Structure 1
Amino acid sequence: MARQVKSGSGWRLGWDADASEFRGLVGGDDWAIELTEAELNDFCRLAAKLAEAVSRIAEELMDEEKVSCEVESDLLWLEAEGYPQAFSLRLMLLSGRRAEGYWSEQAVPALLQATQVLKVF
């Protein structure tokens, strides 16, 4: 099984080991961006790092306080914004072709979970 796409309400995440250049895919209900393997790896790594940072910040916030946190690599930039228990995620590709993506607070928990198991068969 070389190709797989995981999806849920408001998100899609894909992997195609047989693709020549763009092996990864991220998207929402009505948009998608193909990613190189390096970009997909950075996306998954940075998304986990961002979720961990938001979790740590949550311990220092009052209940009604919102959080905004950014992480980036040479290839892409991610931003979490909202409440620690419900935040949106924004993506920008920084090299090669330019693209942006956005996931709502409702889509982010399942998307983050899928990033942890995408390439596990």
Structure 2
Amino acid sequence: MDRLVKTGTGWRLGWNPSAAEYKGLVGGEDWALELTEAELNDFCRLLGQLAATMSQMAGELMDEENIACEAESDLLWLEVEGRPHAYSLHFILYSGRGAEGKWPASAVPSLVQAAQALKVF
């Protein structure tokens, strides 16, 4: 498999299976961070869990209600915040070099779709 980089308005997500250490990439409008395979796997898995939770909450909340949900692994922490149909995503990388990033609500739906399709976990 060759290197794959998916991009959309306000986000980037990449996978390079032949890279020595940092096989993954996450990025926003004007930033990017390389991730190890384990970090990328956790990012995509946790993002999928949070997106599913937000979808499930849609029927539980009033239209104007905001919610925040978190998920974490030993490697990173993710939080979604907003309404079930429009929420931002924030992450903190715990391991090694440590990093932090955020995506606006407008970028999250297509980032979630790309994360689900990036590779098989």
TM-score grouping bracket, smaller chain normalisation: over 0.9
- Runs of 4+, deviation exceeding 6 Å: none
Residue number in structure 2 paired with 1:51: 51
Percent identity (aligned):
65
Partner of 2:22 in structure 1? 22
SS at match of 2:13: strand
The RMSD of aligned alpha carbons is: 0.9
The answer for unaligned runs of 5 or more in structure 2 is none
- Where does structure 1 lack aligned partners over 5 or more consecutive residues? none
What's the offset of the Cα at 1:58? 2.0
Match of residue 92 from structure 1: 92
**Offset of residue 119 of structure 1:** 2.1
Output the CA distance in 2 between the equivalents of 1:23 and 1:52: 26
1:60 correspondence with 2:88: no
Paired positions, count: 120
TM-score normalised to structure 2 length: 0.96
| Distance in 1, Cα, partners of 2:51 & 2:119 | 19
Q: State yes or no: 1:7 paired with 2:18.
A: no
Taking structure 1 as the reference length, the TM-score comes to: 0.96
AA matched with 1:58 = A
